Amino acid sequence: MKSKCEKCQQSLSHESLAYICSYECTFCEICSTAMQHICPNCSGNLCERPKRTKQPLNVIKDQIKQKFFK
């Protein structure tokens, strides 16, 4: 995951709101709104980046759990 807006270089933490295209071009909310959610690099849609709320260890645990109970 990229940690900076490609347009204004504002730093974007994993918890902050950011927008990405399918090529993972990353922009802050202000820039993506100004660009009408169209990526200037690839003309793709910019979507809200999923936030990382869990610790990686918990994610792995949940993945194992899901496999186990399927």
Which residues bind to Zn ion, rule: CB under 5 A?
5, 7-8, 10, 21, 23, 25, 28, 31, 39, 41-42, 44
Q: Is 66 exposed, middle or buried (0-12, 13-18, 19+ CB in 10 A)?
A: exposed
Alpha-carbon span 37 to 44, nearest angstrom: 8
34 or 59: CB nearest Zn ion: 34
Question: Min. distance of Cβ 49 from Zn ion in angstroms?
Answer: 13
Choose among 57, 54, 51: nearest CA to 14: 51
Question: Min. distance of Cβ 52 from Zn ion in angstroms?
Answer: 19
Question: Min. distance of Cβ 66 from Zn ion in angstroms?
Answer: 31
